[in-house]
């Protein structure tokens, strides 16, 4: 892709919802505002998602902790929800970005984009 097409593509993403994966396994979902030559990304109205800690998964599997609320347990599977929080405006450093996904609009999706 030549430079002009790359710039046009980035321009087309401004105002769209992106899902940005970081090296520490966090996922940021927010409105794309801009980027720079260092590949830093600025997102607005951003939610941060984290995978549950090993202790939370262990507690959910054994049913020993009430903090496992929002989890489901059956004989062979344990399901524990990701934790999330609203962080607003965020700069994700380019060196820590592992993947970027475009969030496709869906009228049936709730405000929380990772909940289905």
Tell me the DSSP string of 36-62.
Answer: -TT--EEEEEEEEEEPPPHHHHHHHHH
User: Going from the N-terminus, what domains does the chain have, and what CATH number goes with each?
Assistant: 3-102 (2.30.30.100)
> Does residue 111 have a pLDDT over 60?
no
Range name among 4-13, 74-83, 84-93 with the lowest pLDDT average: 74-83
> Does residue 59 have a pLDDT over 90?
no
**Res 78: pLDDT:** 77
According to DSSP, the residues that pair with 72 across neighbouring strands are 79
From the list 30, 15, 36, 6, the residue with the least C-alpha distance to 90 is 30
**Res 75: pLDDT:** 45
Supply the mean pLDDT for the chain: 85
């Amino acid at each position: 892709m030549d430079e002009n097409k790359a710039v046009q593509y980035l321009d087309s993403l401004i105002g769209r919802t992106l899902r940005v994966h970081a090296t520490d396994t966090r996922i940021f979902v927010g409105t794309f505002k801009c980027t720079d030559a260092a590949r830093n990304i600025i997102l607005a109205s951003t939610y941060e998602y984290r995978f549950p800690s090993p202790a939370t998964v262990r507690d959910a599997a054994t049913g020993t902790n009430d903090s496992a609320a929002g989890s489901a347990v059956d004989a062979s599977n344990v399901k524990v929800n990701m934790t999330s929080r609203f962080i607003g405006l965020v700069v994700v450093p380019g060196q820590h970005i592992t993947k970027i996904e475009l969030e496709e609009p869906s009228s049936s999706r709730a405000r929380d984009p990772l909940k289905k």
